[in-house]
């Protein structure tokens, strides 16, 4: 059966991810200090949709870290842009395959989609929608359910090796993203593009 869906990680695959610099700008702290002080389970819970944004920021306050969410979002939005060749690749795939996101990302993905993905992605799906994060197998099974496809009908692309391997473990053909040119060649080899 032909490939029907291209599931793409978003940050550092389609778009540049400015999260770390935005967090430093919002707190005035270096990442090493922030990561030493915060509960490591809080951000994954936020990405799975288990926490709302005020509760997420509240965890920093509880750890003694002052956060300026407006500064965070200002830097995050200013630093988010397409990686070289990816906007053109998505445009070239229009009408050939259903383009969907498949990201670990919190509710901010809705704004990212409005700013960058309109007309380039048919469906926006992330960990906050699926209630699971990559590389958990549940993420991939829920992704397949959400797009209404069998594993062999989906191609998956991610910049993290562990996420690519996890997709393959559930039967999804997957590509480790390095750049748009390599991705184009991989897709062409699978009859897409």
Contact between 105 and 111 (Cβ < 8 Å): no
Same domain, 104 and 131: yes
Tell me how far CA of residue 28 lies from CA of 33, 80, 126, in angstroms.
Answer: 10, 20, 29
Same domain, 92 and 177: yes
What pLDDT sits at residue 38? 85
Domain end point (choices 31, 53, 78):
78
Cα–Cα dist 90/34, whole Å: 35
Greatest extent of the chain over all pairs of C-alpha atoms, in Å? 55
Total domain count, the chain: 2
Give the pairing of strands 98-101 and 173-176. Answer: unpaired
CA angle 160, 68, 37 (to 5 degrees): 60
Same domain, 157 and 106: yes
Same domain, 107 and 73: no
> Which segments of the chain have a pLDDT < 70?
1
Domain encompassing residue 139? 5-16+81-189
| Residue 133 belongs to domain with CATH number | 3.40.50.1000
Cα–Cα dist 125/8, whole Å: 10
Same domain, 118 and 140: yes
85: nearest Cα among 14, 158, 152: 14
Domain end point (choices 78, 101, 126):
78
Domain end point (choices 78, 93, 124):
78
Same domain, 9 and 31: no
Record the pTM: 0.95
Query: What are the structure tokens assigned to 183, written together?
Result: 């991705």
What pLDDT sits at residue 1? 58
CA angle 7, 49, 44 (to 5 degrees): 80
Residue 103 β-bridge partners? 126
Query: What are the structure tokens assigned to 58, written together?
Result: 């509240």
Same domain, 10 and 101: yes
What pLDDT sits at residue 183? 98
What pLDDT sits at residue 137? 98
Same domain, 108 and 38: no
Same domain, 110 and 185: yes
Same domain, 41 and 116: no
Cα–Cα dist 93/191, whole Å: 11
Same domain, 97 and 177: yes
Same domain, 103 and 60: no
């Amino acid at each position: 059966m032909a490939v029907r869906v291209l599931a793409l990680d978003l940050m550092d695959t389609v778009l540049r991810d400015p999260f770390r610099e935005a967090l430093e700008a919002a707190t005035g702290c270096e990442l090493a200090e922030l990561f030493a002080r915060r509960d490591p389970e809080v951000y994954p819970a936020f990405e799975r949709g288990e926490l709302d944004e005020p509760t997420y920021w509240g965890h920093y306050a509880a750890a003694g870290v002052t956060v300026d969410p407006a500064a965070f979002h200002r830097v995050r939005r200013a630093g988010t842009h397409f990686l070289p060749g990816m906007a053109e690749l998505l445009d070239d795939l229009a009408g050939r395959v259903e383009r969907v996101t498949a990201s670990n990302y919190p509710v901010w993905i809705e704004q990212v989609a409005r700013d960058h993905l309109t007309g380039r992605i048919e469906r926006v799906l992330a960990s906050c929608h699926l209630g699971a994060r990559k590389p958990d197998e549940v993420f991939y099974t829920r992704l397949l359910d959400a797009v209404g496809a069998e594993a062999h009908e989906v191609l998956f692309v991610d910049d993290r090796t562990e996420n690519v391997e996890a997709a393959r473990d559930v039967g999804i053909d997957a590509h480790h993203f390095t750049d748009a040119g390599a991705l184009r060649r991989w897709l062409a080899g699978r009859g897409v593009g």
